[in-house]
């Protein structure tokens, strides 16, 4: 943990961690035979990576390839099946998904860290139109602009230099990062939008005509569902006629582009530098690796996975595992690559 930026503000007891993870005390004591049954006086002073685990520090073990020889003290969240791999001097917290458990703890103590020490009010330099409806416990940062007819729900945090255009709606408990721009967009509750992301600008739709080429007016909007997270430096175009749609609990990394009229269904994951052309449809629970490009009007079926750096020119059905350029079933792609390498080796030998 970077102690310059992040600080533990209250004493954290080991028993607090057990309570958060709902680990029964008897289970804990059964895997820590050397510990005195009075564990109330054990405190956690830092959260660290496994390689930096020391006394009074907390980490987790989830990667079996990691060398545990130098880990000889501290407190570690670990699966029961891996207990024998770690030094007996380490205090062990049994948990079936250590990384998830560690994440739950960080969420508990640092989940709203960006809101700490912030005064929940409207900064004097912010411009808020008189017709805007601002909920309770809303913060609006310096030099932000809230246009006419905007609705902002309770407990939402608007950072500095944010622009929200007329009639946009921001749900309860949202976070908008520094410099974000929101136009023609309706945002559901608990949505996070990171710094310098632009949502709702006109898409790249035009009629080519040499010097008279111009963008077609886009009269659609953008809808973003509950719990979605959008990274920094992303661009999401509004629809040409119908809306661009992003569903619930979608995870979008930094520097992702979503073209006009695209549909991203619930629980999809898009890694950094993904680019979706116009009218792309991602069904539920699609996972896309970094630096993937998808041609316009492509449909990717539910539960599909696209490997990083793939270039997708065709639609794929439910449950596909896709890779390569041009993208295809990843097993076919691997066979082609293997065959090409074999042929190259044969040519070199000849």
Tens of pLDDT, residues 2-26: 888 788 888 899 999 999 999 999 9
How confident is the model at residue 140, as a pLDDT?
Answer: 96
- Domain borders along the chain are 12-111, 180-332
The C-alpha atoms of residue 138 and residue 144 are separated, in whole angstroms, by: 13
- In this prediction, residue 332 carries a pLDDT of 83
The arithmetic mean of pLDDT across residues 167-182, rounded, is 97
| CA separation for the pair 342, 350 (Å, rounded) | 12
Show Cβ contacts of residue 22 under 8 Å, excluding neighbours closer than 6 positions: none
In this predicted structure, the answer to whether residue 61 has a pLDDT above a threshold of 60 is: yes
Number of H helices, E strands in the chain: 4, 38
Q: What is the pLDDT of residues 247-266, one digit of tens each?
A: 999 999 999 999 999 999 99
pLDDT, the chain, mean: 92
pLDDT at res. 225:
98
CB 201 within 8 A of CB 181: yes
At residue 241, does pLDDT exceed 90?
yes
pTM of the model: 0.84
Average pLDDT over residues 87-107: 94
Residue 170 predicted with pLDDT over 80: yes
pLDDT at 229 over 90: yes
Identical topology for domains 12-111 and 180-332: no
**Residue 123 annotated in active site:** no
Torsion of Cα atoms, 168 then 172 then 177 then 182, to 10°: -10
Specify the fold of 180-332: UDP N-Acetylglucosamine Acyltransferase; domain 1 (2.160.10)
Give the list of residues 6+ apart from residue 3 with CB closer than 8 angstroms, or none: 46
Homologous superfamily of domain range 12-111: MurE/MurF, N-terminal domain (3.40.1390.10)
Return the pLDDT at 114. 54
Q: Tell me which H or E stretch contains 157.
A: strand 157-158
pLDDT of residue 14: 95
């Amino acid at each position: 943990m970077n102690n310059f930026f992040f600080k533990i503000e209250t004493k954290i007891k080991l028993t607090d961690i057990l309570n958060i993870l709902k680990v029964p005390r008897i289970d804990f004591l059964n895997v820590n035979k050397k510990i005195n049954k009075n564990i109330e006086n054990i405190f956690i002073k830092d959260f660290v990576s496994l390689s930096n685990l020391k006394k009074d520090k907390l980490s987790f073990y989830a990667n079996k390839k990691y060398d545990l020889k130098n880990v000889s003290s501290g407190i570690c969240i670990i699966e029961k099946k891996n207990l024998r791999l770690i030094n007996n001097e380490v205090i062990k917290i049994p948990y079936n998904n250590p990384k998830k458990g560690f994440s739950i703890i960080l969420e508990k103590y640092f989940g709203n860290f960006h809101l700490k020490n912030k005064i929940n009010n409207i900064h004097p330099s912010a411009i808020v139109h008189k017709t805007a409806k601002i909920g309770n416990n809303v913060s609006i940062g310096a030099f932000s602009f809230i246009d006419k007819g905007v609705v902002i729900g309770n407990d939402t945090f608007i950072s500095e230099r944010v622009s929200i255009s007329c009639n946009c709606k921001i749900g309860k408990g949202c976070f908008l990062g520094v410099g974000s721009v929101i136009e023609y967009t309706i945002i559901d509750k608990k949505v996070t939008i990171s710094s310098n992301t632009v949502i709702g600008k006109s898409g790249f739709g035009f009629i080519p005509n040499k010097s008279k080429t111009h963008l077609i007016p886009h009269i659609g909007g953008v809808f973003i569902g509950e719990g979605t997270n959008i990274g920094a430096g992303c661009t999401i175009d509004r629809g040409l006629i119908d809306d661009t749609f992003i569903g619930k609990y979608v995870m979008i990394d930094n520097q992702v582009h979503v073209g006009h009229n695209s549909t991203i269904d619930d629980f999809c994951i898009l890694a950094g530098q993904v680019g979706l052309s116009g009218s792309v449809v991602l069904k539920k629970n699609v996972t896309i690796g970094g630096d993937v490009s998808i041609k316009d009007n492509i449909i990717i079926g539910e539960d599909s996975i696209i490997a990083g750096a793939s270039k997708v020119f065709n639609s794929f059905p439910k449950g596909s595992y896709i890779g390569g350029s041009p993208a295809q079933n990843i097993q076919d792609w691997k066979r082609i690559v293997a065959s090409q390498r074999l042929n190259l080796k044969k040519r070199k030998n000849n």
